[in-house]
Amino acid sequence: MICLVGFMGAGKSTALRSLERSGLRTVDLDQLLEERQGASIPNLFNDLGEHGFREAEAGLALEVLSDPEVDALALGGGTVLSDEVREALSGADRTVVWLRQDVEEAWSRVEGGNRPLARDRNQFIELYEEREPLYRDLADAVVVGARPDAVEAALPALRAFDNTIPDGARLIWLDLGDSSHPVVVGPGLDLAGLLTPGGPFAPGTGRSVLVWDSNVSGAVGDRFGETLGPVEVPPGESSKSLPVADEVLRGMAVLGTTRTDRVLAVGGGVTGDLAGFCAATYQRGIDLVHVPTTLVAQVDSAYGGKTGVDLPEGKNYVGAFHQPVSVLTDTALLESLPEEELAAGMAEVVKTGLLAGGTLWETVKGLQPGEIRSRPDVIFECALHKCEVVANDEKDLGARATLNLGHTVGHAIETATGYDRYRHGEAVSLGLLAVLELSGADGLRSEVEEVVDRHGLPSVLDPEVDTGDVLTAVGFDKKRTDDGVAFVLLEEPGSPRTGAVLPDDEVRAAIEALSR
């Protein structure tokens, strides 16, 4: 049974109607409650009081959840407050789908209506904050996006929970219209099974061509079933270049790759960016599936559709938006990841925690070295945050700029050192400290410095690196405009501020502070 949960105004009833159109036998709990009681929800709430209403609601929910004739159920926003209902929802034959929206969007949908608990904005926000952790803990799948038919589009992927997605894995449906796709995160994924042609994670009947580096092929080489063959690239940032892209594209041609085939990008951020760029340009674009194997890729770079390669003048100067048809994130692959690569990935975990704030930041800042290997929940939350931002700004025209936190200086350090002195995550670690300096967030900077030091990330810039070269590279940031280079600032976790154009002397001082 598919069970739709979410806060007031999430669109559960609308989503349920779309599932009914797909042939599912559906029940809207609020509607059924009104029919059974002979009164509207607002009147029932007033007549029974909140306690009585919750008892009646929970009793009816338990009745429907035990009905084998029901395929899909939309629960009321507060039904999950019942311990008995939450226990029933955790049953093996139920897929709990959370329709996620932020509190401001939720308020805009219900303000001025007749919902008894949506008359006071402050009370509404308190209720949202009380219930969100319950939805989060219950969810097998999260739908990110606002289209009314998003759940219907996600239905084939949701049904896959019955036979292809193991316990401990969860699904994100990233709703982007024609580019909507599933993201699976969890340990022990059956990659060959998920990649069955024609299924929800590998649509179409074409074949797969692997693009990976030599560090990956030995670890996962036999997990993809039959493929056209591999195209192997050298590991490291230097592979993100036009000459290597040329080699990959020609390798795909030699293997006989056609427009109906797909690229499997297996590896870290470099491989994903490079293979994605090749998928976007080969015969004007073919399907792409990401199988991220590094922490950087699993928490950040595999999601969002950005592809590209570097030029000597700047990082990611050549690229395209090309959304994958799926992302399959097997967190168990981190078990064999070298310590230095795991540490580098922690920079993106820290960045995401800072952007999200709240519970995620509190969790991230308490992680011990290596602990992330056994925390698929944290990796899922990082992926979810990235997908939520992308759903609101797919083409990077506004809100998505927040994801650049720490990257302006980080990318400049990579460019100034020829892409061979620091791993991407190591440069981002330094970039985060620089931007917190620019934000005047001295206390938070000290806190983050302690975290990156704990995980073996650099907090001091190599004295051999010329800060003038770094400043020059900042000026070539690909997001600069006629007004200058805009920074993402952060004074406290969860509250990023975009579009800050700063004087060169302030930027230079923040870079020089990294050398102290």
CATH number of the domain where residue 188 is located: 3.40.50.1970
Q: How many residues does the chain have?
A: 516
Looking at residue 409, its amino acid is V
- Model pLDDT for residues 459-500, shown as the tens digit of each residue: 999 999 998 999 999 988 877 877 788 899 999 999 999 989
Q: Does residue 141 form part of some domain?
A: yes
**Domain count of the chain?**
3
Handedness of CA 31, 36, 38, 40 (dihedral sign): negative
Q: What is the pLDDT averaged over residues 17-23? A: 94
Indicate if the pLDDT at residue 225 is higher than 90: no
What is the pLDDT at residue 201? Answer: 96
Pairing of strands 141-144, 181-186: unpaired
Asked if 324 and 251 sit in the same domain, the reply is: yes
Question: pLDDT band at residue 119, thresholds of 50, 70 and 90?
Answer: confident
Instruction: Tell me the helices (H) and strands (E) count for the chain, helix number first.
Output: 20, 16
- Model pLDDT for residues 419-453, shown as the tens digit of each residue: 889 999 999 999 999 999 999 999 999 999 999 99
Handedness of CA 499, 504, 506, 507 (dihedral sign): positive
Q: Which segment of 12-26, 166-180, 222-236 scores lowest on mean pLDDT?
A: 222-236
Indicate if the pLDDT at residue 399 is higher than 80: yes
Indicate if the pLDDT at residue 516 is higher than 80: no
On whether the CB atoms of residues 251 and 231 are closer than 8 A, the answer is: yes
Residue 165, classed as helix, strand or coil, is coil
Asked if 404 and 489 sit in the same domain, the reply is: yes
Asked if 120 and 225 sit in the same domain, the reply is: no
Q: Which helix (H) or strand (E) holds 3?
A: strand 2-5
Please report, for the domain that includes residue 62, its CATH number. Answer: 3.40.50.300
- Picking from 337, 352, 376, the residue at the C-terminal end of a domain is 337
What is the pLDDT at residue 188? Answer: 92
Give the contacts of 143 (CB within 8 A, at least 6 positions apart): 15, 97, 98, 99, 100, 150, 151, 154, 173, 175
Strand segments, DSSP code E, in 101-228 are 141-144, 170-174, 181-186, 208-213
Among candidate residues 66, 71, 63, 68, the one with its CA nearest the CA of residue 27: 71
Q: What is the pLDDT averaged over residues 357-385? A: 97
Pairing of strands 141-144, 26-28: unpaired
| Residue 48 lies in domain | 2-162
Q: Which helix (H) or strand (E) holds 193?
A: helix 191-194
What is the pLDDT at residue 515? Answer: 86
Query: What is the rounded CA–CA span in Å between residue 218 and residue 221?
Result: 6
Asked if 204 and 332 sit in the same domain, the reply is: yes
Percentage of the chain exceeding pLDDT 90: 78
Rg of the chain over all Cα atoms, to the nearest angstrom:
24
Q: Does residue 362 form part of some domain?
A: no
Asked if 431 and 505 sit in the same domain, the reply is: yes
Q: Does residue 467 form part of some domain?
A: yes
Query: What is the rounded CA–CA span in Å between residue 405 and residue 355?
Result: 8
Q: Does residue 205 form part of some domain?
A: yes
Asked if 79 and 201 sit in the same domain, the reply is: no
- In order, the DSSP letters of 494-505 are T-EEEEEE--HH
What is the pLDDT at residue 269? Answer: 93
What is the pLDDT at residue 161? Answer: 75
What is the pLDDT at residue 413? Answer: 94
Percentage of the chain exceeding pLDDT 70: 100
Query: What is the rounded CA–CA span in Å between residue 505 and residue 295?
Result: 35
- Model pLDDT for residues 43-77, shown as the tens digit of each residue: 998 899 989 999 999 999 999 999 999 999 999 99
Q: Does residue 256 form part of some domain?
A: yes
Token pair of 498, please?
């975009």
